[in-house]
Structure 1
Amino acid sequence: MLPKWFLLHWRLLLWLLPLSAIITTLGLNFYVKTVTSSHRYTNPTEVPVQRVAIVLGAGVYPDGTPSPMLSDRITAAVELYKLGRVQKLLMTGDNSSDDYDEVTVMQRYATERGVPVEDVTLDYAGFSTYESCYRAKEIFGVEQAVLVTQSFHLPRAVYTCRQLGVDAIALGTPDWESYRPQTIMYYNLREVISTLKALWEVHVTRPLPTFLGPFEGIK
């Protein structure tokens, strides 16, 4: 029979391990939010002038319309364009199959709202925030940009792009104000884990995107 002190030590260890994991996870998320805080904006009129806005993709419906979150991102980017804060829009998203094309939907939505088609560049292989940032630099030559996405997504997006060589600032679209609390709670919880994955990718593994290809640039 094991002594009581041994059992107590094991019980304590079983409590400390998950507690340490939780504290580490929250601490790393707090770090990412802190170091990106000065690069994040919620008012488009306060965003410093940049040449390019990178609009990160989200879901589209089978009828060819953007999801509410994606339409909010595109609308915010169009506003930046009309305010003269940016000159070009880089739409980056998922076109992994013939019947799913986020970026063409994004382009159409923006041009219908007054952005000339020649000022919209499409990245069909932005399958994740990491891949969109990586390809923005390596394929499209973007070294400075305004990222446009929901506010809950901003810290991870800004941190990832800056670590991959894009001097990024960001405009956050409303989230808690616009969607059901349950929806935003889910996305915020998911961000906690996604931020850990982003830190692992940019600091440890540095994986290549699914697709690279020749340099295209943005005219």
Structure 2
Amino acid sequence: MCGALILGVSAAIDVQYDARIYSRTDVPPAEVALVFGAGLAPGGEPSPVLRQRMDTAIALYRMGKVKKLLVSGDNSDPYHDETKAMRRYAIDRGLPVRDVVGDYAGLSTWDSCYRAKEIFGVTSATLVTQDFHLPRALFVADALGIEAHGVAADPHARHLSRYQPRELLARVMAVALVLLRPPAKILGPKEDLDGTVTTKG
């Protein structure tokens, strides 16, 4: 019974949000690409998964689909600063510093979306992550009031990866978070996407 419920929740999220997943060329323009962190390789460079996300977001910027990148990762460990690595990756590939905004407290999908809305004032975004993660990320963003579309960093991936046990449980947790609405673990002063602090935390 529990397994059937989990599968039902996951299927419902897929049905609702698959229509908001686009190719790079077809995605509607948005204010910003929200790029979720995905770990670092030895030496502090983005992991292969994170490079896929960053390359996709950089392509969207160059195509004029987004005006800025909001790179949201975990910097809680000085030896594992996802956000710094993500910003450096984009800037090293020619993106203007002012257009690559760092969120250093994106500790989870919920926190990244919550902070995008409440700290950075994002109201519309293109979410950039792997296919398995996109429906859940869109569900969370939608619940938090962000008008979001998604672009898969791995467009040829099989949808079966959405039904791995870890992702199934993560979707159930996402439903719980939407119902309970806890604030992000770390808040702080509000900023705009130009890096200007607008109110104190």
TM-score by length of 2: 0.91
Q: Which letter maps to 2:128?
A: V
Note if contact 2:142-2:148 (Cα within 8 Å) is conserved in structure 1. Answer: yes
Equivalent position of 1:60 in the other structure: 40
> Which residue does 2:61 correspond to in 1?
81
1:3 corresponds in structure 2 to none
> Deviations 1:56-84 (Å, cap 9, x if unpaired)?
00111241211000000000000000000
**Which has the larger share of helix?**
1
Letter in 2 for 1:209: A
SS at match of 1:45: coil
> Which residue, out of 127, 132, 142, partners 1:147?
127
Find the aligned partners of 1:25 and 1:51 in 2 and give their Cα distance. 34
Contact 1:152–1:175 (8 Å) recurs in 2: no
> Whose Rg is larger?
1
Answer 1 or 2: which has greater strand percent: 2
Given that 1:56 and 1:93 are in contact with CA atoms closer than 8 Å, whether structure 2 keeps it comes out as: yes
Unaligned runs of 5+ in 2: 195-201
TM-score, normalising length: structure 1: 0.84
Structure 1 runs, 4 residues or longer, greater than 2 Å off: 175-178, 184-189
RMSD between superposed Cα atoms in Å: 1.7
Match of 1:116 in 2: 96
Task: Give the conservation status (yes or no) of the 8 Å contact 2:131–2:157.
Answer: no
Following superposition, the deviation at residue 174 of structure 1 comes to: 1.3
Task: State the match for 2:172 in structure 1.
Answer: 196
Aligned pairs (5 A) from 1:1-219: 20-41=1-22, 43-174=23-154, 177=157, 185=161, 188-203=164-179, 205-219=180-194
Contact 2:133 2:162 in 1 (8 A): no
Once residues 119 and 161 of structure 1 are traced to their aligned partners in structure 2, the CA distance between those partners, rounded to angstroms, is 21
Q: How many residues align?
A: 193
Looking at structure 2, the residues matched to 135 and 177 of structure 1 have their Cα atoms a distance apart, in angstroms, of 28
Q: Which moved more, 1:123-132 or 1:103-112?
A: 103-112
Q: Which runs of 5+ in 1 are unaligned?
A: 1-19, 179-183
Contact 1:32 1:155 in 2 (8 A): yes
Are the aligned partners of 2:74 and 2:106 in contact in 1 as well (CA < 8 Å)? yes
Distance between the aligned counterparts of 1:118 and 1:79, measured in 2? 17
